[in-house]
Amino acid sequence: MSAPTATVPKGPVETAKPTPSGPRSRRRRAGVQQLAGWLFSTPFLVLFAVFMALPIIATLVMSFTDFGLRNVTDPLSAEFIGLENYTKLFQDDKFLKSLFNTAYFVVVGVPLTIGAGLVIAVLLNNGIDRMRTFFRIGFYAPVVTSIVAIAVVWRFVLDPADGLIAGLATELGMTAPDFLGSETLAMPSLIVMAIWRNLGTVMVLLIAGLQAIPQDVREAARLDGAGAWHEFRLITVPLLRPTLLYATVITTIGYLNVFEEPFVMTNGGPSNSTLTVSLNMYREGFNFFHMGYASAMAYVLFVAIMGITVLQLRLLKDNTK
Amino acid sequence: MSALRLKKPAAYVLLSLGLVLMAAPFLWMALSSFKTKPELAASPPVWIPTEWTLANFRELLKLLDLPRYFLNSTIVATLVTVCNLLFCSMLGYALAKLNFAGRNKLFGLVLGALMVPGNLMLLPLFVLMSKMQLIDSYAGLVLPFAAGAFGVFLMRQFMLSVPDELLEAARLDGAGEWYIFWRIVMPLVKPALATLAILTFLQSWNNFVWPLIATNDPDKYTLPVALATFATDPNRANGSSGVLMAGSFLVVLPVLFVFAALQRHFTQGIATAGLK
């Protein structure tokens, strides 16, 4: 990457060129680049300012107000109530429950998704040499499909009466539990579905990472008598660390925002056992129009996401050095 | 050596088992869409329909104005894609190839924007769109996604690899920056544009939360919103598993076809963003 040193070009190569550009026209060109740089940036910056920066600040401001339905047409009449929304949040059993559920989803779901993606990626990259594309398409396919459609399908896969799993169970002479109707099984069911849907992303990232590992490092290890397991643990995983880190961070951010799965499959139930922070926020904000309160939720989630991301970057990165 | 040779069949077996698990929900969906009501409810289940029927699709089309939602989704996704291709490339070009004060800060802003979860903006965005009278409009569905930070990042990374000498030569010939961007750089990064187009179109096509909030009029629903509203409606959902499966089938099928045909672009785009 070149540093932006536009104004004073030096060096024999530049001056030796028989070009018609004297120092004046060169300065003019630098000026053109200044102007062009900002003109090229304008469309993005305008959209960013209006639809991202402004709402991010507005959410924060709203979280200190009693913003309600009437304020949708008249935002400025919302009253400041200080930290009341935040103090209320942490006494709200439903919110604490949604916080716990989201944490559960992340803590169990992320390692399993990364693990599954890693196993598939290593098998695909190092274990076989034919039909790689075929397998890659198969494992990646759920990622590209509409999560709503997938959630609808999974609702019936898990249906206790005429679902896919219930059907398999009857063939084997067993009865399948009511996965989504049970307080203990509903969340694990959503996690299994999330793994199924997201391991393709992890796999693709890790395959790219694996292919960046030089072949001679592997061969050197093999010559030194390393078995498959040693090679995996001592060569593959350490060299794959930056990619693993990236995959973990984006999977965690995605899972912390989990919304569609409980929205379509369980509507947060039974007894709020799959109510996540995002779903809770959506309901408070857009069903009950407690928008100030919902904004406070959005910010708590945002701060949690930022904190966890920074923590992951620290923890996982320092080990590589 | 023999250990290495033994490894391969095991890997094939494991991967094939995994693939069966991945494909099972899709197959179940496809088969269920063509089953009759009694076979859908049969226990033990009928895996392959003995009598293939289109009744579920007919009922679905009666209950849902699917062509309308298909059109809405297509219009929104197309507009979002075109905007992203243009705006993200413009900023990507500036960040990769133009020297201007504040460039590095701007790039930091783009990287920061990548990290912000979309759910954070929903509430004020809804108020803003209501104020601008853009609820139930295509503009309301397109504008918040018209220039994604991911696209900027992707285009910048690809444009870095365009040789500077080429641009310098054009500048010496008196070409303006827009001409250089549009006539020289854009044709050189066509593969990146294709990748960005596919990823953006698909993301917009599958987008759910914002269209759910930004549309009240059923005529403006996108496919996922229509399907979700239908699937979670307590009055209709009971007993219509075949219809819902048919609906999901029609939503998923075109995407799977497009993906199978263009899969290289997907995986390359994702991997590039992850590695660079």
Q: What is the pLDDT of residue A191?
A: 96
Q: What is the pLDDT of residue A131?
A: 84
Contacts of B109 in chain A (CB under 8 A): 48
Q: Which of A40, A125, A253, A256 to mutate to test the interface with B (most CBs of B within 10 A)?
A: A40
B232/A4 CB distance under 8 A:
no
Residue B255 has its nearest CB partner, among A137, A146, A196, at: A146
Interface of A with B in 293-312 (CB under 8 A): 294-295, 298-299, 301-302, 305-306, 309
ipTM of the complex: 0.86
Q: What is the pLDDT of residue B178?
A: 92
Domain spanning B58-275: CATH 1.10.3720.10: yes
Q: How far does the CA of residue A15 sit from the closest CA of chain B (Å)? A: 14
Kindly write down the DSSP assignment for every residue of A6-43, as one continuous string: -S---SHHHHHS--S--HHHHHHHHHHHHHHHHHHHHH
Q: What is the pLDDT of residue B1?
A: 40
Q: How far does the CA of residue A68 sit from the closest CA of chain B (Å)? A: 11
Residue B241 has its nearest CB partner, among A40, A156, A207, at: A156
Kindly write down the DSSP assignment for every residue of chain B, as one continuous string: -HHHHHHHHHHHHHHHHHHHHHHHHHHHHHHHHT--HHHHH-SS--SS-SS---HHHHHHHHHS-HHHHHHHHHHHHHHHHHHHHHHHHHHHHHHHH---TTHHHHHHHHHHHHHS-GGGGHHHHHHHHHHTT-TTSHHHHHGGGSS-HHHHHHHHHHHTTS-HHHHHHHHHTT--HHHIIIIIIHHHTHHHHHHHHHHHHHHHHH--HHHHHH--SGGG--HHHHHHHHHH-TTTSTT-HHHHHHHHHHHHHHHHHHHHHHHHHHHHHHHHHHH-
Q: Which of B2, B29, B120, B243 to mutate to test the interface with A (most CBs of A within 10 A)?
A: B120
Interface of B with A in 31-50 (CB under 8 A): 32, 40-45, 47
Cα B12 to Cα A148: distance, rounded to the nearest angstrom? 32
Residues of chain A with pLDDT under 70: 1-29, 317-321
Residue A298 has its nearest CB partner, among B91, B119, B228, at: B119
B11/A148 CB distance under 8 A:
no
Q: How far does the CA of residue B89 sit from the closest CA of chain A (Å)? A: 9
Q: Which residue has the higher pLDDT, A71 or B240?
A: A71
Q: What is the pLDDT of residue A47?
A: 95
pLDDT tens across B25-54, in order? Answer: 999 999 988 988 888 877 777 788 888 888
Whether B257 contacts chain A with CB within 8 A: no
Share of chain B above pLDDT 90, in %: 53
Q: What is the pLDDT of residue A14?
A: 39
Is the confidence at residue B144, as pLDDT, over 50? yes
- Tell whether pTM > 0.90: no
Q: How far does the CA of residue B181 sit from the closest CA of chain A (Å)? A: 10
Q: Which of B93, B98, B150, B212 to mutate to test the interface with A (most CBs of A within 10 A)?
A: B98
A153/B26 CB distance under 8 A:
yes
Q: Are A277 and A297 in contact (CB under 8 A)?
A: yes
Q: How far does the CA of residue B75 sit from the closest CA of chain A (Å)? A: 17
Q: How far does the CA of residue B7 sit from the closest CA of chain A (Å)? A: 7
Q: How far does the CA of residue A190 sit from the closest CA of chain B (Å)? A: 14
What rounded mean pLDDT belongs to chain B? 87
**Cα nearest neighbour of B203 on chain A:** A144
Q: For residue B96, what pLDDT band results from cuts at 50, 70 and 90?
A: very high
Q: For residue B272, what pLDDT band results from cuts at 50, 70 and 90?
A: low
Domain range list for chain A: 90-318
Q: For residue B240, what pLDDT band results from cuts at 50, 70 and 90?
A: confident
Q: Are B159 and B189 in contact (CB under 8 A)?
A: yes
Contacts of A302 in chain B (CB under 8 A): 116-117, 120
Mean of pLDDT values over B50-65: 88
Interface A:B, Cβ pairs < 8 A? 312
**Class for the domain spanning A90-318:** mainly alpha
Domain range list for chain B: 58-275
Interface of A with B in 71-90 (CB under 8 A): 71-73, 75
Is the confidence at residue B268, as pLDDT, over 60? yes
Interface of B with A in 96-115 (CB under 8 A): 98-104, 106, 109, 113, 115
Is the confidence at residue B76, as pLDDT, over 70? yes
